[in-house]
Amino acid sequence: MVLPDAKNPADLGGGCVRPVCYHNQEGPHGQSAPRDTALSTRILGIESSCDETAAAVVSDGSQILSSIVASQVVTHRKYGGVVPELASREHLRQIVPVVRQALAQARLTLREIDAFAATRGPGLVGSLLVGLTYAKTLAFALEKPLIPVNHLEGHVHAVFLEARQKGCEPALPAVCLIVSGGHTVLYWLERPAHAASASACGELSYRCLGQTRDDAAGEAYDKVAKLLALGYPGGPIIDQLAKQAGDGHVLSFGDTKIRGNPFDFSFSGIKTAVLYFVREHAELAPEIRARQEALARGMRQAEQLKPLCSKMTLDLVRAFQDAVVRDLVERTFAAGEETGAASILVSGGVAANSELRRQFEHRARECGLETFFPSRALSTDNAAMIAAAAYPKFLAGIRAGDSLDAEASLPLA
Ligand code: ADP
Ligand code: MG
């Protein structure tokens, strides 16, 4: 096991490692935010649940001292989705340089870290094991606490982390929509009244209100983009192309009907509707081939692909996005109204979508319910949210033992 040495900058590897631009914080070579070294608790968080290897140092659950994310998009692009075996191999390659870079950006040594936190689940078990084992080893070697974090709780804390930095904490109880490539789930969250000590430490309690019965929303974006030869990941490119459809767009998909729990989601129907539309319109085949060739030549930007998209394709992606966003907004606000929530939180990769943000903000104004998002950089998977989620657990004395294992379907309850 290689331990990172932040004092050796020449040793900071990691070809596609990128620092995250986050709110109210300077980059790796800028002036670090001032901190009280004697009083603050610095937690190094590690996230490796899916296709991002990430490490971050967060002070007192509220101040991001560093945040590094190594994305695996290039590795998975040619398959149009995440390949689990390749993901674990990439995490193994990236974990050491990513942790080193997070320490260097925070200008801290390992010994100055007070606790280590890692994602325990849910996620791909081979991927989770890399980050968790590494964090376990660091904690054991340095005799520091290890705190396990649920990935979904991390997404919730991404919202609190940034809201706190702006001085506007979301009111509780709240309804939180977590919407990404692997998850689409609605939670009710509040401060637990029964556990005074946990509540005083800022621990939240969660109740699942509903979740997707098939594809996650981000997964539907990625699959529709693959079908239409728009590249991977599908969310950002569809977000941009949908804006180009203009007001005269003619296509639209109906609302998704779900029996039973009104707060459950389903996105496989809309994905299949796009597939049938493409099959029924043979005239789309030549432009799909042209885009496949363009992607093979590395042309992935919206401005490069847009000239290869007919009006019908732009209308189609717009109709797909409108249907997905409408469904997410309607069910989330319905849950907010039925449960009497004081605010709405939205997090996860799809929360970066510009139309989704616009519609949530519009609806929030209508209902008088404030809606909170993390910045786009902290919407997708990152480790700052893991370190932030670990802080109330640290205060509450929650520690993991040596037997801690990754759990692919870890529930948040
Ligand atoms: P995962 O746990 O699946 O890795 P992330 O939080 O990293 O989830 O989010 C990745 C997902 O978010 C992908 O499915 C991607 O297509 C989607 N996504 C990213 N940006 C956008 C966007 N602007 N609009 C819609 N979806 C997006
Ligand atoms: Mg991801």
Q: Please, what's the b/e burial string for 34-73 (b: 16 or more CB within 10 A of its CB; e: otherwise)?
A: eeeeeeeebbbbbbbbbbbbbbbbbbbbebbbbbbbbbbe
**Residue 284 resides in a domain:** yes
103 and 51 fall within a common domain: yes
- For residue 409 the two structure tokens come to 């379907």
What mean pLDDT comes out for the span 238-258? Answer: 86
237 and 333 fall within a common domain: yes
CATH number for the domain that contains residue 64: 3.30.420.40
Closest by CA to 267, choosing from 188, 334, 357, 184, is 184
154 and 25 fall within a common domain: yes
pLDDT at site 7: 42
Q: How many CA atoms lie within 13 A of 222 on its CB side?
A: 20
On whether the CB atoms of residues 217 and 239 are closer than 8 A, the answer is: no
What mean pLDDT comes out for the span 371-400? Answer: 96
* Closest ligand to Cα 222: 1
306 and 382 fall within a common domain: no
**Residue 350 resides in a domain:** no
Using CB distances shorter than 6 Å, the residues near ligand 1 are 50-52, 180-182, 218, 221-222, 233-236, 239, 348-350, 352-353, 380-381
Which has the minimum average pLDDT: 7-11, 235-239, 298-302? 7-11
336 and 382 fall within a common domain: no
How wide is the angle at C-alpha 138 spanned by C-alphas 25 and 389, nearest 5°?
45
20 and 153 fall within a common domain: yes
What confidence tier does 200 reach under pLDDT thresholds 50, 70, 90? low
**Residue 190 resides in a domain:** no
What mean pLDDT comes out for the span 55-77? Answer: 96
| 3-class state of residue 372 by DSSP | strand
> pTM for this structure?
0.90
21 and 135 fall within a common domain: yes
pLDDT at site 18: 58
Condensed to tens digits (0 to 9), the pLDDT of residues 261-299 reads 999 999 999 999 999 999 999 999 999 999 999 999 999
| Overall number of domains in the chain | 2
156 and 291 fall within a common domain: no
| Residue 228 lies in domain | 217-341
41 and 145 fall within a common domain: yes
> Which residue from 183, 221, 227 has its CB within 8 A of the most atoms of ligand 1, so it is best to mutate?
221
What confidence tier does 335 reach under pLDDT thresholds 50, 70, 90? very high
- For residue 194 the two structure tokens come to 């029964």
The H-assigned helical ranges of 230-280 are 234-243, 268-280
308 and 388 fall within a common domain: no
Ligand 1 atom with the smallest distance to the CA of 354 is 23
166 and 261 fall within a common domain: no
